[in-house]
Structure formats: C-alpha cells, structure tokens
Amino acid sequence: MEKKNTGILRIALLGPESTSKSTLSENLAKHFKTIWVPEYSRIYLEGLNHKYNQKDVVHIAQEQFRQEQRLLKKAHQYIFVDTELILAKVWCEDVFKSSPDWINKTLIQNPYDFYLLTYPDIPWQEDPVRENPHRRMFFYDWYERELKNINANYAVIKGFGASRLHHAIQAVEKFTRQIKNKS
C-alpha cells in the first residue's frame, strides 16, 4: 500500500473533534478546484449497531486510506483528506492502549506532504458520533506531538468561519511556494 509519486500534494486535516476539518476540507477543495476525501469514520460509525472496537477503527482507517487512493486519480494539484492515520493511531492508543501494526506501518510509509492542524478555538458542536467535548486541547496537543515526532510539515489553523478558511488557504499557498522554491 505504498504511495506513488503522482505530483499531487497530499494535504491532511488533523485535529480534535468539532474543529471544522470536514468543512475546511470541502471548502479548500472548492477553492483549489480539486477534490477532497470525506471522513469515512462518520459514515461507518453512524451505521454501527454495537459499540466500536479496535477492529472497527482499523477497518475505518483502511477504508479511509483506500478511498484516498481511489480519489487521488481525480485530483488536480492537491488532494485534501479529512482525517488520516495519526487520528486512528491516537484513537487506538487512547481507547485501547495500543495501535495496530498496520496503522503504524502505513503511517510511516505514507506521510502527507502537508498537514493542517485545526486548533480547538471554535465552539463545540454536539454530534452523535463525537465523544470528547472536554478533551479537545488534550487531543490537539497529542496530535501536534505526533506531527513533530514524524517531522511533518504542518500549519496550525485558527479562526472562525471565513477567517479559518482564509488562514487555511494562506497556509497551503505558503507551503506550495516553499515547495516550488526548493525545486
């Protein structure tokens, strides 16, 4: 499942629950005239008839990755991915106290070009699949440590509404200029 060099910049949105990852992913794709990969866990968990387990989380991570690989063929310059394997790794470690080998191995083999780390500075929105309204800063800090551990290129995205989108667009454009200047 190794990533192929497609010339497409893979940009992942990562952050605590209710920090506008889905909205940003969709709006960034519209702005940059490309596609985005929706969060598969939402679809899966809404249809689940039991309390999720680690096997479910691995299935979610694998399907999210498969969907990204399929949609990558349709992308133009960028692909925006609403959540990715760091989230699955942290989810497993937090809930089940360990992360499966597949997640860890695939995470290392398929780093994203750039991450947008969404800061929990917007109001919590209640949702049937969300679980951690009072732990958003805890998870934000954990995600940032994970990004630093893999030496990832990332930008922290703050702000509300149009301002948040504007900051995300600026971060992507700045990263794109840096990449072009290195070439």
149 vs 157: CA distance, rounded Å? 19
Question: What pLDDT is stored for residue 47 in this prediction?
Answer: 87
Q: What CATH number labels 9-182?
A: 3.40.50.300
Per-residue tokens: 87: 């989230």
Closest CA to 129 of 60, 74, 72: 60
pLDDT digits (tens, 9 = 90+) for 119-156: 999 999 887 778 788 999 999 999 999 999 999 999 99
The neighbouring-strand residues paired with 10 are 79
With tokens 């900051």, the residue in question is 167
Per-residue DSSP letter, 76: B
Backbone angles phi, psi at 119, to 5 degrees: -85, 140
Average pLDDT over residues 28-51: 93
43 vs 39: CA distance, rounded Å? 8
